[in-house]
């Protein structure tokens, strides 16, 4: 396997049109598609990172500050051609270094990914995404380093 470069690049001027359009390449379930106003709100109130693989756009990470060194992972998505190749794990590993505590809400299909990357399931959120489609609240807390 050749070396690939994975970079999280902060997008200080996120373009609503761009992120709105890209979500249709990633999500196929209507209940996961955010409307235009939601994108405007999220992009203006959160920190947005473009996931780049060898310089090409591969997805996004959107974080919201929660205080006390905590971040909420509002969105983490990769284009289909970048999924299931270890890229997601490498991105999450980078994100985990940004906060003492990282929380997220995910769905059943991606819960296993979060658990494998060190998150703990806190609770199931009934009908979170849509009727009959639960969400799962997960958390990652970085271990404190002991003094030498």
Region 89-116: mean pLDDT is 96
Q: What does each C-alpha distance from 5 to 24, 54, 56 come to in angstroms?
A: 25, 5, 10
Asked if 117 and 82 touch (Cβ cutoff 8 Å), the reply is no
Q: What is the pLDDT of residues 66-96, one digit of tens each?
A: 988 899 999 999 999 999 889 999 999 999 9
Instruction: Please report the pLDDT score of residue 144 as a whole number.
Output: 76
Region 12-35: mean pLDDT is 94
Q: State the Cα–Cα distance between residues 88 and 132, nearest whole angstrom.
A: 27
Region 134-138: mean pLDDT is 98
In the 8-state DSSP scheme, what is residue 144? P
Asked if 27 and 77 touch (Cβ cutoff 8 Å), the reply is yes
pLDDT over 70, % of the chain:
96
Please tell me the pTM assigned to this model. 0.92
pLDDT bucket at 2, cuts 50 / 70 / 90: low
The CATH architecture of the domain made up of 6-141 is 3-Layer(aba) Sandwich (3.40)
pLDDT at 35 over 50: yes
> What are the boundaries of each domain within the chain?
6-141
Region 85-111: mean pLDDT is 95
Residues in the chain: 148
Instruction: Please report the pLDDT score of residue 1 as a whole number.
Output: 47
Asked if 64 and 55 touch (Cβ cutoff 8 Å), the reply is no
Instruction: Please report the pLDDT score of residue 133 as a whole number.
Output: 94
Average pLDDT, the chain: 94
Instruction: Please report the pLDDT score of residue 7 as a whole number.
Output: 96
């Amino acid at each position: 396997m050749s070396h690939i470069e994975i970079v999280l690049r902060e997008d200080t001027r996120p373009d609503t049109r761009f992120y709105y359009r890209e979500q249709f390449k990633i999500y196929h379930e209507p209940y996961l598609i955010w409307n235009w106003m939601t994108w405007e709100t999220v992009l203006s109130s959160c920190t947005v990172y473009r996931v780049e693989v060898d310089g090409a756009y591969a997805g996004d990470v959107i974080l919201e500050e929660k205080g006390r060194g905590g971040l909420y992972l509002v969105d983490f998505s990769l284009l289909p051609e970048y999924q299931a190749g270890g890229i997601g794990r490498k991105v999450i590993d980078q994100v985990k270094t940004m906060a003492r505590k990282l929380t997220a809400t995910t769905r059943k299909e991606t819960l296993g990914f979060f658990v494998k990357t060190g998150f703990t399931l806190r609770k199931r959120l009934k009908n979170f995404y849509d009727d009959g489609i639960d969400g799962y609240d997960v958390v990652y807390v970085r271990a404190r380093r002991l003094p030498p």
